[in-house]
Structure 1
Amino acid sequence: MKKITLALLGLILIVACNNTQKKEMSSEKAAAKETKVVKKTYPDKLQKVFDAHGGIDKWNEAQTLVYEMVKPNNTEKHITDLPSRKTRLEGKGFTIGYDGKDVWLSQKDSTAFRSNARFYHNLYFYFYAMPFVLGDDGITYTKAKSIEYDGVMYPGYKISYGDNVGDSPEDNYFIYYNPETYKMEWLGYTVTYFNGKPSNKISYIRYGDWQKVNGVVLPKVITWHKTAENGKIAEARNSVSFTNVSLTNEMMKNEMYERPEDGVVVPKK
């Protein structure tokens, strides 16, 4: 009887062990499936542009971008949570934020901020975070006709967005890079936010003064240029400088982006 009992016990243990191993293997497979990351691919030349600026993977690891934007009459502090794109802009007499749902405006009086806060809340972030924001989801890349400036030809890509991507999916960007260094040197863009109609007018910003922040190459100065009647880039118009830049792998507290009691939600267009 003891022999039968021991044999039965052994059989039970073997079955239990096999079931445990199967569960562990299934759990491991499930975990491996969950953690499998599909790496995005970009056009070959655009990938080289990302690499020349420190790498898109390095940028994607970061959580928070902070910079101060120096304007003629004041300095603004811009804070962005990179994964969610929540924002907080602190200016002279006003604060603008995006909490992940609404854009809000808080100001000392009605004259502190005179522009459209919804349009403005991430405007300079997109200009500043070039070329990395061109690695976002929902983007289509097509080769653009090269542009010429001071005898140098700059190849590039046209960036267009899918429907319902951002407040102005009709907008287009054009990135142009140095053919030898692959660093970004020009950005062309169209603006359709205010009237909702696609525009063929391209404005140009020149990039060339860079700074390295946490291994990533970001602008120190960006300069807008006039556009001639024939569509070619003309002389410089104005510049904006960026100081006290930080790019960290730490997240700010969520309260940073929440609407204060005196904050007013800015409606969509």
Structure 2
Amino acid sequence: MKKVFLLLMVVFVVSCKNEPKTEAKQDIKKVEDKKENFPEELGKVFEAHGGIKKWNKAQTISFNKEDEAHTSDLHSRKIVINSPKYSIGYNGNDLWYLEEVEGSLKRDPAFYYNLYFYFYAMPFVLADDGIIYEKVDDFVFEEINYPGYKISYKSNVGSSPDDNYILYYNPETYKMEWLAYTVTFRSKAPVDKYKMIRYNSWENVNDFILPKQITWYAKDKENQFAATSKIVDFKLPLISEEKLQDSFFDKPIK
């Protein structure tokens, strides 16, 4: 009986070895054929900041802005902002907020909850699905030409699909240096006026080059861009491949 069992096992193993593995080959081919949809120059920008493939493996990102702690799931885009006076969150379905001190939340939660996530996760968020890329004229500042790409969104992508961004990068290092952007959250219509941010300080966070400080610029009396007093510092940065529990983003029950 044991011999019969052993013989059957040998036949089974041999038959498995001889069986063509078409499904495995097809799976490998699918992975090899996958291509990114952004321009080659932007691919170099992403690479200069740590690489889009590695970014896609990350799950969680967090940073502090003033007394706010921002934490986001990079794939679902769930977000929580905690401060001593208020909290704001998006759990994938519902936007919520709480005030520890009544009247302390002086921002529109629907506009604010992911605003600084986008500013902080540059340039990688400009590789999201549903984006249209367009090469634009260089931005010239202090006799340096910064090549740029305009980023717009297909219809019904996000809460403000008419928002536009222009990423300008250093022509030698390929690091992002400027961001021009429009705000259409309230108007719900395209606008031509761009705000301008300079990404003037970066730091290495787990092999990603992420912003440490950003400064808003505006045109002065001579129609030249100059730094404003609006400066934001990002502190206590973290990026990880560990995924947080979904309940982390739910509204706390008091």
Category of TM-score, reference length = shorter chain: 0.7 to 0.9
> Aligned partners of 2:175 and 2:14: how far apart in 1?
58
By how many angstroms is 1:14 displaced? 7.7
> 2:129: which partner in 1?
137
Any stretches of 5+ residues in structure 2 without a counterpart? 1-6
Pairing 1:65–2:61 present? yes
> Which has the greater radius of gyration?
1
> 2:3: which partner in 1?
none
TM-score normalized by the length of structure 2: 0.87
Secondary structure, counterpart of 2:44 in structure 1: helix
1:181-211 CA distance string (max 9 Å, x none)? 1111100000000121211110000002110
Secondary structure, counterpart of 1:114 in structure 2: coil
Pairing 1:157–2:157 present? no
1:204-258 CA distance string (max 9 Å, x none)? 0000211000100000000011235897533333100011101111011221101
Aligned residues: 247
1:107-155 CA distance string (max 9 Å, x none)? 1244121211011110001011110100111111100121121222211
Q: Aligned letter for 1:56?
A: I
> Aligned partners of 1:29 and 1:153: how far apart in 2?
47
> 1:38: which partner in 2?
34
2:49 touches 2:208 (CA, 8 Å); kept in 1? yes
Query: CA RMSD for the aligned pairs?
Result: 2.7
By how many angstroms is 1:17 displaced? 7.1
Report 1:56-205 matches (<5 A).
Answer: 56-70=52-66, 75-205=67-197
Q: Aligned letter for 1:210?
A: W
Q: Aligned letter for 2:65?
A: M
TM-score normalized by the length of structure 1: 0.83
More deviation, 101-110/126-135? 101-110
Go from structure 1 to structure 2 and tell me whether the alpha carbon gap of 1:247 and 1:37 turns closer, same or farther (over 3 Å shift). Answer: farther
Q: Aligned letter for 1:103?
A: L
Q: 1:258 aligns with which of 233, 244, 250?
A: 250
1:226 touches 1:237 (CA, 8 Å); kept in 2? no
2:136 touches 2:148 (CA, 8 Å); kept in 1? yes
> 2:231: which partner in 1?
239
> 1:4: which partner in 2?
none
> 2:45: which partner in 1?
49
% of aligned pairs identical?
42
Q: 2:241 aligns with which of 243, 249, 261?
A: 249
> Aligned partners of 1:126 and 1:88: how far apart in 2?
14
Q: Aligned letter for 2:92?
A: G
> Aligned partners of 1:29 and 1:53: how far apart in 2?
33
1:42-83 CA distance string (max 9 Å, x none)? 21211111111111112111111011112xxxx110000111
1:58 touches 1:215 (CA, 8 Å); kept in 2? no
> Aligned partners of 2:246 and 2:152: how far apart in 1?
31
Q: 2:202 aligns with which of 210, 219, 223?
A: 210
Secondary structure, counterpart of 1:143 in structure 2: strand
> Aligned partners of 1:47 and 1:27: how far apart in 2?
31
> Aligned partners of 2:24 and 2:59: how far apart in 1?
29
> Aligned partners of 2:23 and 2:140: how far apart in 1?
57
Secondary structure, counterpart of 1:240 in structure 2: strand
Secondary structure, counterpart of 2:21 in structure 1: helix
> Aligned partners of 1:180 and 1:62: how far apart in 2?
27
Secondary structure, counterpart of 1:260 in structure 2: coil
